[in-house]
């Protein structure tokens, strides 16, 4: 009861955050054109933080005996059914249809956290990547580290390179890894602060798998921009993001070995940052081909709502009440040759 009161107070605090009208007006115009009728129900979720949901990703390196029964008592159930093309046994995540949030764990030096709270849709890029033990893996834009942690719930890469260009976010990434990954394994992880656009030239054809969780216009947080001037600046800079995303993807293609695959993801609904970027890569890089994600989409269709009419190599998760996951765009490509 005390916990639920705390959650209600937290939710009220979120409600007091004001919706930024400048951003909302921009989104209204763009997303009505791009999503059609789907936009109104998506807008209702994005502007209503009290109906947002959080998934609980268990940490296989620090399992608490009573945690799963405690989650079950509070209405949580395993998030991903066994019908998925790729779902490692150690990968365990719990969700529930009710909104609210399981209590977060504080960072304690020398002690591993037992779970990570996140938007369940952000696990789809990790499952699409299909990392196997011993593979060389690059997480090109890794902060704050949730997807890096999730990758390590799936497999133990031979080498795992987590890169984050921004200094502050890089420190956040390091703390996340320290909180979830034990010492022997953390020694196999390289954390760097390189410009992701240069990694392909610095380490050509070095990786089996690359995740590009690209910097994007974060629709959820932008709607609550506290400073209208900052919001206007963000919307002006938004036009430049697709160019950066394309350069990061091109670098990722160079960093991939022939036969290797990459997953591109964003947390925006924007077509310019999603399908348009992937289409540009496919038309300008002759050595990559799309990979069908429809099997994964079918396997998680009970948990997520997808925009219809997408290509088979891409998914766009649309938030709706009771399944308030996303926005999350996921696309998968494979490198077929060196040139």
Would the annotation count 227 as a binding residue?
A: no
> How, if at all, do strands 328-335 and 256-266 pair?
antiparallel
Would the annotation count 55 as a binding residue?
A: no
Would the annotation count 133 as a binding residue?
A: no
Q: Give Cβ neighbours of residue 260 (< 8 Å, ≥ 6 apart).
A: 207, 208, 209, 210, 334, 335
Would the annotation count 156 as a binding residue?
A: no
Where does residue 84 rank: exposed (0-12), middle (13-18), buried (19+ CB within 10 A)? middle
> How, if at all, do strands 159-163 and 207-213 pair?
unpaired
148 touches 154 (CB < 8 A)? no
Where does residue 250 rank: exposed (0-12), middle (13-18), buried (19+ CB within 10 A)? middle
Distance CA 242, CA 240 (A): 6
Q: Phi and psi for 78 in degrees, rounded to 5?
A: -55, 135
Would the annotation count 37 as a binding residue?
A: no
Selecting among 20, 93, 162, 267, the annotated active-site residue is 267
268 touches 323 (CB < 8 A)? no
Q: What DSSP string runs through 99-166?
A: -B-PPPPPPBTTB--SEEEE-GGGGHHHHHH---TT-EEEETT-TT-HHHHHHHHH---SEEEEE--S
Distance CA 316, CA 269 (A): 7
Distance CA 260, CA 207 (A): 7
Q: Say whether 162 is catalytic.
A: no
Would the annotation count 213 as a binding residue?
A: yes
Would the annotation count 144 as a binding residue?
A: yes
Would the annotation count 295 as a binding residue?
A: no
Q: Which residues fall in the annotated binding site for S-adenosyl-L-methionine? A: 141-147, 164, 195, 213
Q: Which residues fall in the annotated binding site? A: 141-147, 164, 195, 213
Question: Which active-site residues does the annotation give?
Answer: 267
């Amino acid at each position: 009861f005390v916990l639920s009161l705390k959650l209600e107070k937290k939710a009220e605090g979120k409600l007091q955050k004001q919706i930024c009208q400048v951003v909302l007006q921009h989104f209204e115009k763009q997303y009505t054109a791009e999503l059609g009728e789907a936009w109104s129900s998506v807008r209702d979720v994005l502007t209503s933080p009290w109906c947002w949901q959080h998934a609980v990703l268990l940490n296989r390196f620090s399992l608490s005996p009573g945690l799963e029964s405690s989650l079950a008592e509070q209405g949580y159930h395993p998030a991903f059914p066994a019908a998925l093309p790729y779902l490692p046994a150690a990968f365990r995540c719990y969700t529930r249809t009710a909104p609210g949030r399981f209590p977060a764990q504080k960072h304690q030096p020398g002690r591993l956290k037992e779970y990570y709270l996140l938007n369940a849709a952000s696990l789809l890029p990790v499952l699409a990547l299909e990392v196997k033990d011993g593979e060389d893996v690059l997480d090109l834009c890794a902060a704050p580290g949730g997807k890096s942690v999730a990758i390590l719930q799936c497999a133990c890469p031979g080498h795992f390179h987590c890169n984050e260009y921004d200094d502050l976010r890089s420190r956040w990434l390091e703390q996340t890894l320290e909180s979830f990954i034990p010492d022997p394994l953390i020694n196999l992880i390289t954390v760097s602060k390189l410009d992701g656009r240069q990694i392909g030239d610095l380490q050509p054809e070095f990786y089996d798998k690359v995740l590009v969780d690209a910097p994007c216009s974060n629709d959820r947080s932008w709607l609550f921009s506290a400073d209208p001037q900052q919001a206007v600046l963000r919307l002006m800079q938004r036009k430049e993001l697709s160019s950066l995303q394309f350069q990061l993807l091109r670098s990722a293609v160079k960093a991939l070995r022939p036969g290797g695959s990459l997953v591109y993801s964003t947390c925006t609904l924007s077509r310019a940052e999603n399908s348009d970027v992937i289409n540009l890569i496919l038309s300008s890089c002759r050595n990559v081909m799309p990979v069908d994600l429809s099997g994964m989409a079918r396997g998680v269709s009970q948990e997520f709502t997808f925009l219809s009419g997408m290509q088979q190599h891409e998914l766009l998760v649309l938030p709706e009440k009771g399944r308030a996951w996303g926005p999350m765009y996921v696309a998968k490509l494979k490198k077929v040759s060196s040139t």
